[in-house]
């Protein structure tokens, strides 16, 4: 079963999604959709920065939410929830509404599947994948909102879809050491020798010690003076 989840999770890896995002940018530029391409790059970078910042804060300073088991936004989930729905939106936005709904639903479901795979593989907690989905879908919504008045770019739909499909399948399973890079940045900024880890972070959870109340003295008795 783990091989199934690994196959799913690899679709959200940076080795797949970042080149796909770059290829999408080139397609927009080739269609002379300058504003749309700039909007896409800016929003994609903002989403990636949010993921990196959350991980740096935990790895370098141990900042997270213990009650939710949250140590940083799931990068795989965010990237999948950003790239695939935007690709689907650009491919189906000129079609009739049933096809648009079907295309966007399939892309969103695939993104959620990537998030589920991160939980199944114990790579992230539920809260981290939920936030990853939220950030990714927020980027998609912002892209659709900011480009809603733009003319539909003259994208060659079939060649674009075919090229992105081939690119994703070709890079599927490849890896880039993004976690190592983020850890290096976190240690450099925080000055620590070792990053915070989830297990030790939970083990350091503050313990509230209750102090037993001192019983009141019976009436008529004097309270002894404290020994100095």
- Decide if 53 is inside a domain: yes
- Decide if 190 is inside a domain: yes
Q: What does the DSSP assignment read for 34-87? A: HHHHHHHHHHHHHHHHHHHHHHHHHHHH--SBGGGTB-S--HHHHHHHHHHHHH
pLDDT classification of 217: cutoffs 50, 70, 90? low
| 164-179 pLDDT, tens digit each | 999 999 999 999 999 9
- Residues in the chain, overall count: 228
Residue-range definition of the domain harbouring residue 23: 2-203
- Decide if 217 is inside a domain: no
pLDDT classification of 224: cutoffs 50, 70, 90? low
pLDDT classification of 101: cutoffs 50, 70, 90? very high
- Decide if 198 is inside a domain: yes
Domain total of the chain = 1
- Decide if 139 is inside a domain: yes
Using the predicted structure, report yes or no on whether residue 94 has a pLDDT greater than 90. Answer: no
| Mean pLDDT on 154-159 | 91
Residue tagged 């503050």 (tokens): 206
Residue 27: what pLDDT?
96
Residue 202: what pLDDT?
83
| Mean pLDDT on 73-93 | 96
Using the predicted structure, report yes or no on whether residue 155 has a pLDDT greater than 50. Answer: yes
CA distance 126 to 116: 8
pTM of the model: 0.87
| Mean pLDDT on 131-141 | 97
Residue 200: what pLDDT?
84
| Mean pLDDT on 194-220 | 68
- Decide if 212 is inside a domain: no
Tokens representing 2 are: 């783990």
Query: Distances in Å between the alpha carbon of 32 and those of 26, 35, 38, 76?
Result: 10, 9, 11, 30
CA distance 154 to 164: 17
- Decide if 213 is inside a domain: no
Cβ–Cβ < 8 Å for 5, 121: yes
């Amino acid at each position: 079963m783990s091989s199934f989840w690994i196959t799913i999770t690899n679709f959200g890896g940076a080795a797949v999604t970042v080149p796909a995002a770059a290829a999408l940018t080139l397609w927009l530029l080739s269609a002379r959709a300058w504003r749309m391409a700039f909007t896409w790059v800016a929003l994609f970078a903002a989403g990636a920065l949010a993921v990196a910042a959350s991980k740096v804060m935990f790895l370098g300073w141990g900042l997270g939410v213990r009650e939710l088991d949250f140590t940083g936004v799931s990068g795989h989930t965010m990237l999948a929830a950003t790239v695939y729905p935007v690709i689907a939106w650009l491919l189906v936005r000129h079609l009739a509404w049933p096809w648009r709904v079907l295309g966007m639903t399939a892309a969103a479901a695939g993104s959620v599947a990537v998030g589920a795979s991160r939980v199944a593989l114990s790579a992230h907690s539920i809260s981290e994948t939920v936030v990853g989905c939220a950030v990714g879908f927020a980027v998609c919504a912002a892209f659709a909102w900011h480009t809603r008045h733009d003319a539909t770019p003259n994208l060659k739909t079939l060649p674009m879809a075919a090229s992105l499909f081939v690119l994703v399948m070709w890079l599927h399973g490849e890896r880039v050491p993004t976690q190592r890079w983020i850890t290096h940045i976190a240690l450099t900024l925080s000055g620590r020798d070792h990053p915070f880890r989830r297990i030790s972070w939970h083990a350091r959870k503050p313990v509230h010690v209750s102090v037993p109340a001192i019983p009141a003295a019976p009436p008529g008795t004097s309270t002894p003076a404290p020994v100095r």
